[in-house]
């Protein structure tokens, strides 16, 4: 995550006369503000710990600690937003999405810790494998998990997937990601002001403090999430169970010193946890296409639409393996899988119209290709809400996404492979 100097993050070349200019004093103030935000974020998440515990905890979740000599990696990246982003779509990704969006009451206390059991049977807990957070501190972090946390995870690991094989911008499995880059993917606009009353020129103040703080908090929360349980991978065509227990994601702070010996945060090196190596050492790769417009949905105003869209990207990837995108889903299953709580008190007056409006919005934005209710629901009769929950829906991805998955499957089928005698052909993802 980061803060590169603001003018250097301009994605479109501009003439000097048209550029948004920021004074050196404003740049220094901006960098100092970011560092203060990071310090405050760490202070918040270690509030219940002793100084020794806090030091050990932060050293663990910030895998590489603080690095002062990797700034060249950030100079080599050019941030831009693409139409689609290939994001990791493994069971740990799905478990952390559910845990981040689950009702807080769904987290269950255990032996000195509190954890969430995802629908795929993986458990999510907070802290480190050696020292899970105690319940009071864990509850504080659980309350901070939100739609924003999931969006940050998808963006960061999507960018990791793009850069991981580029030696110029990767190091020991980690890649650089800029803070402004994440905010840009979220469709947020930088704050600006006129140079002086009546002037046409404007100065940029960068992104708002609360926006930057939210991203920093998301990263810290994601690094604090651990996933444990049994997963299944394919080895020589056979399903083999494996166990995972470790951090979902890691990151390191990258900084440099100024001439006055002040520290300026440049950004962060990020990577998934070791769980991904367990999959990939046996050539198990799971990636899903996600429409960049999903990241621009407002976590508050578009809450239902965002949750449904995030789940559908996972469902479509699973459906792509067999090409059965038209398989119906009941409304109750859609809501449960999307981590949308049914509002029974205002079911017919508010909740149903809000869900149907969200589906229509996703279709209008092109995030959904088509959504149609296959079951006739008579809304004139009394107590029709149960019929609506049981109704079957066909929710298709956009045609372009279907074509991309079809091309991917065709390429995998044509890929030459040596098959040993008596070996069962390996399943295609």
Q: Which residue has the higher pLDDT, 268 or 4?
A: 268
Nearest-angstrom CA–CA distance, 139 and 120: 23
Q: How confident is the model at residue 429 (pLDDT cuts 50, 70, 90)?
A: very low
Q: State the chain's mean pLDDT as an integer.
A: 83
Terminal alpha carbon distance of the chain: 31
Show me where the domains of the chain are located. 26-296, 297-411
3-state secondary structure at position 338: coil
List, for residues 222-280, the tens digit of each pLDDT value: 999 999 999 888 888 888 888 999 999 999 888 777 777 777 777 889 999 999 998 98
Q: Cα dihedral angle (308, 311, 314, 319), rounded to 10 degrees?
A: -60
Alpha carbon 72 to its chain centroid, in Å, reads: 26
3-state secondary structure at position 318: helix
Q: At what angle do helices 24-45 and 135-142 cross, to 10 degrees?
A: 130
Question: Would you state the pLDDT for residue 11?
Answer: 29
Helices (H) and strands (E) in the chain, counts: 14, 16
Q: Do 156 and 268 meet the contact criterion of CB atoms below 8 Å apart?
A: no
Q: Do 7 and 22 meet the contact criterion of CB atoms below 8 Å apart?
A: yes
Question: Would you state the pLDDT for residue 392?
Answer: 98
Label residue 254 left, alpha or beta by phi (over 0 means left) and psi (-120 to 50 means alpha). beta
List, for residues 187-226, the tens digit of each pLDDT value: 887 866 665 566 666 566 678 888 888 998 999 999 999 9
Question: Would you state the pLDDT for residue 112?
Answer: 82
Question: Would you state the pLDDT for residue 367?
Answer: 97
Q: Which residue has the higher pLDDT, 173 or 19?
A: 173
Candidates 290, 239, 252, 297; CA nearest to 400 is 290
Give residues with Cβ within 8 angstroms of 370, minimum separation 6: 363, 394, 395, 396
List, for residues 98-136, the tens digit of each pLDDT value: 999 999 999 999 888 999 999 999 999 999 888 899 898
| pLDDT above 70 coverage of the chain, percent | 81
3-state secondary structure at position 341: coil
Lowest mean pLDDT among 50-64, 282-296, 335-349: 50-64
């Amino acid at each position: 995550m980061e803060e590169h100097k603001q003018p250097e993050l301009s994605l479109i070349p501009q003439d000097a006369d048209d550029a948004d200019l920021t004074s050196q004093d404003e740049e220094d103030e901006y960098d100092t503000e970011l560092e203060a935000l990071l310090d405050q974020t760490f202070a918040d998440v270690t509030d219940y710990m002793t100084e020794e515990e806090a030091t050990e905890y932060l050293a663990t979740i910030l895998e590489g600690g603080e690095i002062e000599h990797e700034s060249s990696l950030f100079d080599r990246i050019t941030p831009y937003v693409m139409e689609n982003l290939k994001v990791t779509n493994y069971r740990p990704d799905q478990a952390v999405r559910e845990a981040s969006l689950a009702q807080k009451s769904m987290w269950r206390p255990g032996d000195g810790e509190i954890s969430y059991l995802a629908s795929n049977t993986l458990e999510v807990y907070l802290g480190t494998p050696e020292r899970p957070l105690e319940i009071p501190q864990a509850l504080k972090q659980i309350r901070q998990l939100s739609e924003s946390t999931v969006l940050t995870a998808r963006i960061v690991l999507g960018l990791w997937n793009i850069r991981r094989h580029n030696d110029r911008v990767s190091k020991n499995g980690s890649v650089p990601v800029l803070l402004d880059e994440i905010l840009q993917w979220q469709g947020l606009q930088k704050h600006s002001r006129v140079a002086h009353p009546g002037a046409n020129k404007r100065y940029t103040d960068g992104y708002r403090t609360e926006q930057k703080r939210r991203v920093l908090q998301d990263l810290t929360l994601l690094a604090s999430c651990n996933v444990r349980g049994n997963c299944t991978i394919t080895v020589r065509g056979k399903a083999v169970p494996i166990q995972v227990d470790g951090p979902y994601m890691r990151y390191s702070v990258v900084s440099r010193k100024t001439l006055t010996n002040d520290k300026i945060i440049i950004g962060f090196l990020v990577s998934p946890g070791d769980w991904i190596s367990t999959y990939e050492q046996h050539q198990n790769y799971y990636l899903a296409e996600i429409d960049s417009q999903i990241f621009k949905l407002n976590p508050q105003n578009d809450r239902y639409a965002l949750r449904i869209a995030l789940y559908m990207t996972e469902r479509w990837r699973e459906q792509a393996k067999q090409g059965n995108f038209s398989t119906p889903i009941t409304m109750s299953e859609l809501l449960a899988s999307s981590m949308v709580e049914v509002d029974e008190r205002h079911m017919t007056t508010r909740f149903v119209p809000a869900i149907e409006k969200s589906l229509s919005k996703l279709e209008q934005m092109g995030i959904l290709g088509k959504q149609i209710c296959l079951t006739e629901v008579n809304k004139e009769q009394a107590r029709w809400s149960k019929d609506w929950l049981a109704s079957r829906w066909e929710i298709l991805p956009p045609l372009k996404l279907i074509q991309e998955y079809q091309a991917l499957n065709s390429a995998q089928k044509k890929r030459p492979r040596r098959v040993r005698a008596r070996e069962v052909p390996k399943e295609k993802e």
